[in-house]
Amino acid sequence: MSTCSVSKGCFVFKPDTKKRKISSAADYFSKGNKDAEDSGLRFDTCQSLWKEIKRETEQLQEDLNKKLFDNLLDFLRTSHLDFKQKKTEWACRMKSREIPTAAVVLGVNVTDHDLTCKRLAEVLQDDVTPFVVTLRSKECPGIKNLLQKLMIQLMGCPIDMDSSEDEGSSKISPNRIRYSVSSLTDWYRNITKKADTETPCKKRIFSSSHWESPPVVVIFKDIESFTSKVLQDFIIISSHCIREFPLVLIFGIATSPMIIHKLLPHSVSSLLCIELFQSLSCKEHLTKVIDKLLLTSQFPFKLSEKVLQVLINIFLYHDFSVQNFIKGFQLCLLEHFYSQPLSVLCCEPQEAKKRVNVLSHSQCENIRRLPSFRRFVERQISNQQTVLLTDDRGLKETVHVLLQDLHTFHENYFPVLCCLHAFTSSLPKYPLGKQIRELYCACLEKKVWETEEYESAIQLVRMLAKDELEAILEKCVEILKSSPANHLGHPLEKLEEYLSQLKNPEEVNEDQEQSISSLKELQKKTDLYHLQKTLLEMKESRRLKKLTKFEMLRFEIVGFVDGLVKNHLAPVEMQTLHEVMYFSAASTLREHLNAAPRVALHTALNNPYFYLKNESLKSDAGSISNTAPDICIAYKLHLECGRLINLVDWLEAFSTVVKAAENSNSTGEDQIDDVTHARFIRAVSELELLGFIKSTKQKTDHVARLTWGSC
């Protein structure tokens, strides 16, 4: 929009009356998708599945934090419950102005602390007090900033008022308040005094769920990052007013409780009445999440071994963040439904059966192109092969059966996997891993019963004692009883039968009696010759003796479990149509989550077409395009230089390339204009900001190159 006026002025341009079309998430999902068929249905399925997964993970997080939050509530109750009724007694109980302090060890997964602290604040505001303040180190560089944040959050706390007049009298304008602990004390005294003077029918300053004389709770999210001087000043000032209003401090600790004594001298830490609380370990939390999301047939979407290993490696070697693991799982879910057209069948069995009936011919062709389905067709007789490859109706009937078989496979897979983990998780040196996720990855990768680790684990299981074997069988029976699979009824009966035989008192351990008698023989006084003879006889008798009833039963149990493993823990790649439910693009996931900034920068500067997708930016390898951005031209020119780069030569080369784009008839004798000079200075400054060059004192008209080679 422009004007034809030659005078200066203010012009009003009316907005376009045409309504702009707002793109939805489903539009972005189908945009640029090569397999856009059923994209809307796939998007809806992905969204509904993710909502269910998110609800389950949030509920799991709440259940895991329940014990920690209950302990914190008990701590608050014992600290300040009777502040109102027995103020003098409460004051006497606070030795030398001690402030009740809860040191909560949250673990090294710092990125998850925000969620835990947010949930803790919500629990306290719902059940204990409306006065909950959360402080971060970056918001409190000084004691003045800390008190300001504290007072602003307190004055904005939700308090139930009966009228606008009461509300106006209880709130203090932030512009008129002096930020100090004395102001905080006066504010709390006015609030509680207002609550005391209200009549019972009109008394609604605090919610009915809040405690009487509710405490002021201050949560320090990242105590390690706070300045020591700020903490010391706040604690010292607050200790002088602790008898005037109930104050509780909660320290969020990522490392160790000893950090409190490193930040605070003894004269300050002695003003705190500290109680230690421990949250659930992030590794245990991850195990619970994997059990909830992957080791169940509740959710049809699954991860392949390589994809799961990428997520676990990022967790173990980068951040220990369970929330980032869940976000990575969400990315896998989205990528699977976006890139796999047959993911429309990744849903509940009954819904999948309906969707199979309405598959188009192109979708049937997508099924025929699946590697697992092609292997399935090769195993069929010739007549059946013809039907599967040419008749869509016959294909859909077969797909019904295959999807049901895949669902049944999952129902049997995970209970047997848990039983195998129960047998191997307590073995010496953990040949199949200590965590169930390690065993799960091993079973996904290949036939686990053909590995050396499995053989060594079976050998160790054959040497388990009676009480150990009995405890493991009891655990396996509980696992199979709690599983929804109806096909494991016979294994459950067999395991219960073995367990009853082990508990039968008539089947006495004969080998134990023999070992006791042999031990008595050895304890007799004898010489070296007779001792050696006795030991040889014992060794020979053990080699020739028959197996006891317990040993025969133990061999039978191990053989039965080995058969369950071979029948139900086959690799996923052996299952037909596993591509429908399993996401296996580990390289795509690694590109999104494992950032490689050095490679990305070199690619962007050396080949800008890779990101900008402009046809004019295409150029041969090694050549410098005159239409490329200035920083790309300067970057390619600097690759041709040595350790020191002459700025004058660099500028002349840059000008030559730029002028070739502007005027193909220009000669090298043309003067470098100011615009070209400014563009060069800007490009060099950007390269210096990115860390490719730096100024040097060796030569004033040179810069030093900080990288070497092609990138």
Closest CA to 576 of 402, 390, 355, 444: 402
In a domain, 550, yes or no: no
Is residue 38 within 8 A of residue 363, CB to CB? The reply is yes
Q: Are residues 346 and 267 in the same domain?
A: no
| pLDDT of amino acid 517 | 54
- Domain at 242, CATH number: 3.40.50.300
Q: Give the pLDDT confidence score for residue 91 in this predicted structure.
A: 47
Same domain, residue pair 251 and 395:
no
Buried b (16+ CB within 10 A) or exposed e, 27-41: eebbeeeebebbbee
What does the pLDDT read at residue 530?
Answer: 67
* Chosen domain end from 545, 580, 615: 580
pLDDT at 539 over 70: no
Token pair for residue 478? 């509980």
**pLDDT winner (highest mean) among 95-109, 123-137, 367-381, 498-512:** 367-381
Q: Is the dihedral of CA 396, 400, 402, 407 positive or negative?
A: positive
Distance between CA 341 and CA 33 in Å, rounded? 10
Confidence band (pLDDT; 50, 70, 90) for 199? very low
**Same domain for 227 and 296?**
no
244 and 306 in a single domain? The answer is no
If asked whether residues 234 and 303 sit together in one domain, one would say no
Instruction: Evaluate if residue 175 carries a pLDDT over 90.
Output: no
User: Looking at the predicted structure, is the pLDDT value of residue 161 above 50?
Assistant: no
Residues 140, 241, single domain; the answer is: yes
CA dist 236 and 221 (Å) reads 20
Residue 45 domain flag = no
**Phi and psi for 341 in degrees, rounded to 5?**
-65, -30
Q: Please report how the helices 181-197 and 228-240 are oriented relative to each other, as an axis angle in degrees rounded to 10.
A: 40
> Do residues 270 and 294 share a domain?
no
Residue 517: both structure tokens together: 């008698």
Mean pLDDT of 508-514: 49
- Say if 63 falls within a structural domain: no
The set of residues, in sequence order, having a beta carbon less than 8 Å from that of 180 and lying 6+ positions away, is: 147
User: CA 677, CA 662: separation in Å to the nearest integer?
Assistant: 15
State the pTM of this model. Answer: 0.80
Closest to 583 measured CA to CA, from 151, 204, 49, 12:
49
In a domain, 511, yes or no: no
- pLDDT higher than 70, residue 1: no
Tell me how far apart the alpha carbons of residues 496 and 551 are, in angstroms, rounded to a whole number. Answer: 18
Flag whether pLDDT at 638 surpasses 60.
yes
Tokens for 628?
């490329």
Asked whether the CA dihedral 510, 514, 517, 522 is positive or negative, the reply is negative
Q: Whole-number mean pLDDT of the chain?
A: 83
432 & 495 share domain? yes
pLDDT per position as a tens digit, 176-198: 456 677 788 888 888 877 655 55
Mean pLDDT of 581-606: 88
Assigned domain for 562 exists: no
Q: Retrieve residue 480's tokens.
A: 């199979």
Residues 6+ apart with CB under 8 A from 175: none
* Cα separation, 473 vs 484, whole angstroms: 19
**Does a structural domain hold residue 589?**
no
3-state helix, strand, coil in the chain (%, to 5): 60, 5, 30
CA distance 66 to 71: 9
CA dist., res. 471 & res. 467, Å (int): 6
Residues in the chain: 711
Q: What is the CATH number of the domain that holds 680?
A: 1.10.10
Per-residue confidence band for 209, with pLDDT thresholds at 50, 70 and 90: low
- Residue 33 is assigned to a structural domain of this protein: no
Helix intervals (H) in 483-527: 489-503, 510-523
CA 181, CA 588: separation in Å to the nearest integer?
A: 54
Q: For the ranges 115-129, 407-421, 480-494, 574-588, which has the lowest average pLDDT?
A: 480-494
Q: Are both 494 and 605 inside the same structural domain?
A: no
Whole-number pLDDT of residue 424 = 94
Q: Say which DSSP state 316 is in.
A: I
> What is the rounded radius of gyration, in angstroms, for the C-alpha atoms of the chain?
36
Residue type, 423: F
Q: Out of 514, 549, 580, pick the residue that ends a domain.
A: 580
Q: How far is CA 1 from CA 4, 11, 553, in A?
A: 10, 10, 90
Query: How far is residue 688 from each of residues 500, 631, 679, measured CA to CA in Å?
Result: 76, 11, 14
Which among 280, 306, 329 is the end of a domain? Answer: 280
Same domain for 198 and 306? no
Name the token pair of 553: 């039963």
Q: Do both 332 and 440 map to the same domain?
A: yes
Mark whether 326 and 445 lie in a shared domain.
yes
Total domains, the chain: 3
**Has residue 219 been placed in a domain?**
yes
Q: Which amino acid is at 482?
A: S
**Beta-bridge partners for 277:** 104
User: In the numeric block, which tokens belong to residue 489?
Assistant: 């009824």
Highest mean pLDDT range out of 26-35, 184-193, 347-356?
347-356
- How many angstroms separate the CA atoms of 443 and 432, rounded? 10
Catalogue the E-assigned strands of 449-490. Answer: none
Domain of residue 389, residue span: 286-506+567-580
Phi and psi for 277 in degrees, rounded to 5?
Answer: -130, 145
CB-based contact 687:697 (threshold 8 Å): no
Question: Rounded distance, CA 304 to CA 579, Å?
Answer: 10
